[in-house]
A and B are shown apart, each in its own frame.
Chain A
Amino acid sequence: MSILKICNVNYSYDGSKKTLKNICAEFDKGKIYAILGPSGCGKTTLLSLLGGLDEPSDGQVLFQGEDISRKGLAWHRKNNVAFIFQSYNLIDYMTPAENVALTSKLTPLPILERLGLTKEEARRNVLKLSGGQQQRVAIARALASDASVILADEPTGNLDEDTADEITKILKECAHQMNKCVIIVTHSNDLAKQADVIFRLKKNELFVAS
């Protein structure tokens, strides 16, 4: 059974023009998925629906076969999914270790060290870290939550090419070595090429590209 499934989902703002039309897709553990599409095509909206940040107008989002609205969207966000954002979205008055501890009762240092941050960097204010380091902290926070699904919204969008490659490598590790289901929303073909499955959003509909 797929870990996350989206069935016949429609979405529109204020009941007007549909942003998403009859979307169906399945996502499995151990794979990395990319959702490609031009700006404004509804990629982020789709990610919101998968992560329980919003509800579809019609259709269902299922986690392990159960509609995520049954236990509540906040419960789904807390226990099943973790987000990685383009702008990292770390809490600025906390250290990397504290940011990671937000989602975990485990000691955050080993997770941060595994992602390449030193102990000293882990205790620094997050704003004093580079963009790449901040994104690693965001990934560490996602991993610390022990969620099965990682939802990444343009995770390399603000990073230089080398750092973007490193982050992509980490995300692939998350999927292939840690058996997570990683879903990346991007308009970068280079990043999409690293995915096991590529979806394309076109005219509000989702197609499997490869």
Chain B
Amino acid sequence: MSFIIRSYLYCKRQRFKTFILFLILTLIAAFMLTGIAVRDAANKGTANVRTSIGGKLELNLDTEGHMGSGEQTEWGTTYCYNGDFITQDIVDAISKVDGVVYYNTEETGGYYGAGVNFKYLPAEYGLSYTPYGESSSYTVTLSSEKCKDFQSGKYKLVSGRHITPNDKYACLISKELADYNKLSVGDKVKMYSLDSDSQASFEIVGIFDGTEGSQGNALTVDQIPANCGYLDCASVYDIFKDIDDEGYSQLTIYVKDPVNIQNIYNKISALPELKGKTLKLSIDTDEIDAVSTPLTSLQKLVNTTIIIIAIVSVIILTILLSIWIRGRKKEIGVLLSIGKSKYNIIMQIFTETLFVAVISFAASVPLSFYLSNNLTIFFIAKVTAKTPDLNIHIDTAYMLPLYLIGILLIAVSVIASSWTIVRLHPKDILTKIS
């Protein structure tokens, strides 16, 4: 009679022990399966975050040591950057680097304009330096959609479209300012710039909200977010071309695959257009880190939990099997006396446990559905106050790792608990056992 048949007979006849083993293995498998599911969801979540946010590089002016020796004016000592700017040649060269999907510049206060045919929301003090009243600040950008306030969700476009790199004399204004002046998309706003001493007309291409309630006790109009809008780069370059045509002071470079970001960083650093220039290139992972850190912590917590479950499972199984094996000394002695090897007897115990495990692991699936919801809430609460967007479900694909891990745990437990068998001398069948 082979050990497989003996295992089958044992499981069939020793129903109480089989049932206890079934319960324990089902519970272990359910925890393990839930752990695998949460871990996989966290992995997928991290991957999704990385691909949806993408990677970013920042190119900035290296101001250290390039601010001149200072110039005495009526306001005090003023320093002026005397290094290199990000020119269109550099931008063009960067845009051609393989892996770069987009670039943007966002210069807050890149343009100050006073309303010629419209009015700003009033501030505490109406200090007027221009013939058209107070000036408010505008963020000059190639692509307003990529600007931090839109990316963070603080501002939201409510009508029209965003500013794109092809735009010239286009602007975005807040809904509050539009309502205040009864302006809508397609209307033109005329502004006066004190710096260039010129007027320019901008078409409203989009209106955004998110500025409401942030007026506070602003002293000047530019301190009221609703008065601050967005302008395209081309028009500002056109307005100041006779005064200042240095280029951009900041450039954000977007890459498709954040995993490959170091490689792209190296390629951009090696561009001849950047050689010897007083510019600083750096990798910006703040946004990814902000979203993925809770997921990474979750992954670590789940990994640790899986290891703990595995160790505890082995301990419980080993204790249980050891107790049962001690109770089977007579049977083991009989098998030894009829010439069965110790290996054959250990294989019988392993197969018995495996028979129960095959059914238990399948039966653990419904329990895992229940556990996955509750355990996920527990895990997430341990790593973050926010709830990451995790899609946790028990996939049939998880059964393979579950069975592999389970078989390994059972093998370790059976080997550890078989110490009694290994120690048992065949002669004991005639002395102690008889």
Q: Which residues of A are in contact with B by a Cβ distance under 8 Å?
A: 44, 47-48, 51-54, 73-79, 82-83, 85-87, 89-94, 98, 101-103, 141, 145, 153
Contacts and interface: CB of A to CB of B under 8 A. Distances in A.
A53 B9 contact: no
A48 B330 CA distance: 16
B334 interface: yes
A89 B434 contact: yes
Contacts of B13: 93-94
Given A74-B341, A102-B334, 9 more contacts: A53-B337, A54-B427, A74-B340, A75-B339, A77-B337, A85-B430, A94-B9, A102-B335, A103-B338
B77 interface: no
Contact of A91 (B331, B339, B426, B430): B331
B156 to A, nearest CB: 72
A87 B339 contact: no
A78 B340 CA distance: 7
> Which applies to chain B's interface (DSSP): helix, strand, loop or mixed?
helix
Contacts of A101: 1
Nearest to B13: A93
A51 B426 CA distance: 10
Contacts of B336: 53, 74, 77
B427 A53 contact: yes
Contacts of A51: 337
A206 to B, nearest CB: 18
Given A73-B426, A93-B14, A78 B339 contact: yes
Contacts of A92: 331
Contacts of A83: 337-338, 429-430
Contacts of B10: 93
B334 A90 contact: yes
B431 interface: yes
Contacts of B331: 91-92
B430 A102 contact: no
A78 B14 CA distance: 27
B259 interface: no
Given A44-B431, A89-B434, A93-B14, A82 B338 contact: yes
Contacts of A78: 338-340
Contacts of A93: 9-10, 13-14
B333 interface: yes
B16 to A, nearest CB: 11
Contacts of B340: 74, 78
Contacts of A82: 338
B434 A77 contact: no
B323 interface: no
A98 B430 CA distance: 22
A182 B224 CA distance: 110
A85 B426 CA distance: 14
Interface string B82-102: 000000000000000000000
B339 A74 contact: yes
A77 B336 CA distance: 8
A37 B145 CA distance: 103
Interface string B415-434: 00000000001110111011
Given A93-B9, A93-B14, A44 B430 contact: yes
Interface in B1-50: 1, 6, 9-10, 13-14
Contacts of B341: 74
Interface in B127-170: none
Contacts of B334: 89-91, 102
B344 to A, nearest CB: 9
A98 B14 contact: no
Contacts of A85: 429-430, 434
Nearest to A87: B434
A131 to B, nearest CB: 14
Nearest to A142: B338
A44 B427 CA distance: 9
Nearest to A47: B430
The 3 closest A-B pairs by CB, nearest first: A78-B339, A93-B13, A77-B339
A145 B338 contact: yes
B427 A153 contact: no
Given A54-B427, A74-B339, A101-B1, A89 B333 contact: yes
B1 A98 contact: yes
A44, A73, A93 — which one has the most chain B CB atoms within 10 A of its CB? A93
B9, B13, B427 — which one has the most chain A CB atoms within 10 A of its CB? B427
Given A101-B1, A153-B434, A89 B429 contact: yes
B9 A89 contact: no
16 contacts: A44-B431, A53-B337, A53-B429, A53-B430, A74-B341, A76-B339, A77-B336, A83-B430, A87-B433, A89-B330, A89-B333, A91-B334, A93-B10, A94-B13, A102-B1, A102-B334
Given A44-B430, A77-B426, A89 B337 contact: yes
Given A89-B330, A91-B331, A101-B1, A77 B427 contact: no
A141 B338 CA distance: 9
Contact of A77 (B1, B338, B431): B338
